[in-house]
Chain A
Amino acid sequence: MSDAPPPVSLFAWRPLAGILYRQVVLYRRSLPRWMEIFYWPLLDLLVWGFLTLYLKKIPSFLPSAVVSLLGALLLWDMLYRAQQGISVMFLEEIWSRNLIHLLVAPVTPYHIVFGAILSSFGKVLLSSAVAATLAYFLFSFKIFSLGLDLIFFVGALLAMGWSLGIMTTAVILRFGQEAEVLAWGVIFLFQPFSAVFNPVGVLPPIAAAISRVVPASYVFEGMRSLLTGGTLPVRDLLMAYLLDGVYMAGAIFLYSRVIARARRRGFHLKLGS
């Protein structure tokens, strides 16, 4: 048919705006959702902040270790929220029995992921801005003392969080809602090897070896180095981004395989119905 309307461009802005619009509306009027963005970071901040106040009073305690605790907490929260933002958005599509509508629509499964990434980026920005402000006023901790290097750290953590989010989503699409616990739990599998609150040097050899393939470990090591007056460990940061690239490639490969399998086997059609 020659007068057929042209297909929706892969780069059309409206479909992406539609995916984001829904997220904005969901947050605009839902108090529990706002609490989810601010409640946990605030509680974590208070608990760890009070701990740092106590540790600062112990004469033998290293001040640098105290300072890095709050920085680690703020950065860890970004990683956690980046991963969760993607997985939970997919779960919400399943819970509301809406996923099939999206799969029938003129968007690709990659649009849906990209929409989730943008949405999670907004939530991370919002949540982190509030947490950083509170950390400053309550505990005089300035995360921005990391300067522009902070952007590189955050970028590496977000890339890792999004990769894990896409992998988790693939597993949920493959195994259905019984795998939904991963949306909340998978990031904690990486926490012991991410050197969040402690240097890699104190880890047992096996754990230290595993941490070498976890991008976040390089970021937290770098952050500690900077906060204690060191210089930006460029090599470590490059390593983090290299690993992020491997994680992201693996995540996209897994996701595309699961989608292809679902189109052959129809497993995802059972989701949400």
Chain B
Amino acid sequence: MPNVLVTETVTKCYLPGQPPAVKGVDLRLAQGEILSIVGPNGAGKSTLVQMMLGLLLPDSGTVRLFGHDVAKERRRIAHRINYASTDLSLPYSLTVRENLLTYALIYNMKNPKERVARLLSTLDLESFSDRKVGALSTGQVARMGIAKALVNDPEILFLDEPTATLDPEVSGQLRHLLGTMVRERGMALLYTSHNMREVERFSDRIVLMRAGEIAAEGTAADLMERYKTEDLEELFLLLAGRQEVGVE
């Protein structure tokens, strides 16, 4: 499968004299692949994702989506990607349906009402589709955010902690849905999470970041074998902790 996202020695430092938030990161994401980025708080995950989205410019290196440099050609790729984060929401005074319709229009979708109706059905949001966002539970807001992120049928979907506020049953349903989209439509999925069990079961490949750099990369099985750990949680504690390990 071709790579839809490639970062080449991407570095970002917010303030001169401070350690870089992201340092020389080389990464690739293939069409139809699920890649998880994990790491402790401050590891550089969010900064890296923001550079991939074109919200932040790298100091050096390039981020290419579909072969285009995001820093220079964001307009050529913005309609092919989307993003959801638990840190974000949508206007509280609008209903779920109205918010989705807003974004179907903003993403220039043809037949936006039909598109929204399909999304509401696919993501099982119909029961609260006409409720204002301000009246939703945290989990419902998260589901709406994911619906918004799917409004344009993205070829690359960026999700920041997508299941952090969802109960296990809804998380499972969502993973199933996203997995189906990846398999059937070849969507590439890049997500960050602190839920190691989820990462282990759901991802094709895992990137563990520490202090702005990639500390380890591979499939869950590869990584656990390489570092002789029982599970990803143990691996995370090993690599994210203070002890020095032989990172290759």
Interface of A toward B, CB cutoff 8 Å: 1, 4-5, 7-8, 10, 12, 14-15, 17-19, 21-22, 25-26, 29-30, 92, 96-98, 100-108, 263-266, 269, 272-273
Contacts and interface: CB of A to CB of B under 8 A. Distances in A.
A4 B80 contact: yes
Contacts of A104: 53-55, 78, 81-83
A7 B106 contact: no
Contact of B57 (A97, A103, A263): A263
Contacts of A17: 105
A273 B99 CA distance: 19
Contact of A1 (B66, B82, B101, B104): B66
Nearest to A26: B93
Contacts of A1: 2, 66-67
A98 B78 contact: no
Given A8-B107, A104-B82, A266-B50, 6 more contacts: A5-B79, A18-B103, A101-B148, A106-B78, A106-B108, A107-B106
B55 A14 contact: no
Contacts of B79: 5, 7-8, 106
Instruction: Please name the 6 residue pairs, one residue from A and one from B, whose CB atoms are nearest each other, closest first.
Output: A18-B105, A18-B106, A106-B78, A106-B79, A273-B87, A97-B89
Given A15-B106, A265-B14, A96 B47 contact: no
B226 interface: no
A119 B83 CA distance: 26
B108 A8 contact: yes
Contacts of B55: 100, 103-104, 263, 266, 269
A98 B101 contact: no
Nearest to A18: B105
A34 to B, nearest CB: 13
B112 interface: yes
Given A96-B91, A101-B148, A104-B82, A21 B105 contact: yes
B87 A12 contact: no
Interface of B: 2, 14, 47, 50, 53-57, 66-67, 75-83, 85, 87-94, 98-99, 101-109, 112, 148
A19 B103 CA distance: 9
A8 B66 CA distance: 16
A19 B47 CA distance: 27
B74 to A, nearest CB: 9
B135 to A, nearest CB: 13
Contacts of A102: 106
Given A7-B79, A263-B57, A19 B90 contact: no
Contacts of B108: 8, 12, 14-15, 106
Contacts of B89: 96-98
Contacts of B2: 1
Given A14-B106, A14-B108, A263-B56, A101 B90 contact: yes
20 contacts: A7-B78, A8-B78, A12-B108, A18-B103, A21-B101, A21-B102, A22-B99, A22-B102, A25-B102, A29-B93, A92-B91, A96-B89, A96-B91, A97-B89, A100-B88, A108-B75, A263-B57, A264-B57, A266-B55, A272-B88
Nearest to B134: A96
A25 B53 CA distance: 29
Contacts of B107: 8, 15, 105-106
Contact of A15 (B50, B85, B88, B105): B105
Contacts of A14: 105-106, 108-109, 112
Nearest to B101: A21
Contacts of B103: 18, 101, 105
B56 A269 contact: yes
Nearest to B95: A25
Given A8-B107, A103-B55, A98 B90 contact: yes
Contacts of A272: 88
A8 B80 CA distance: 10
A1 B156 CA distance: 14
User: Chain A CB within 10 Å — which of B57, B87, B105, B109 has the most?
Assistant: B105
Given A7-B75, A7-B76, A96 B106 contact: no
Contacts of B106: 14-15, 18-19, 102, 105-107
Given A7-B75, A21-B105, A30 B93 contact: yes
B57 A106 contact: no
A167 B54 CA distance: 24
A18 B102 contact: yes
B9 to A, nearest CB: 18
Given A106-B79, A269-B56, A97 B87 contact: yes
Contacts of B75: 7-8, 10, 106, 108
A273 B83 CA distance: 15
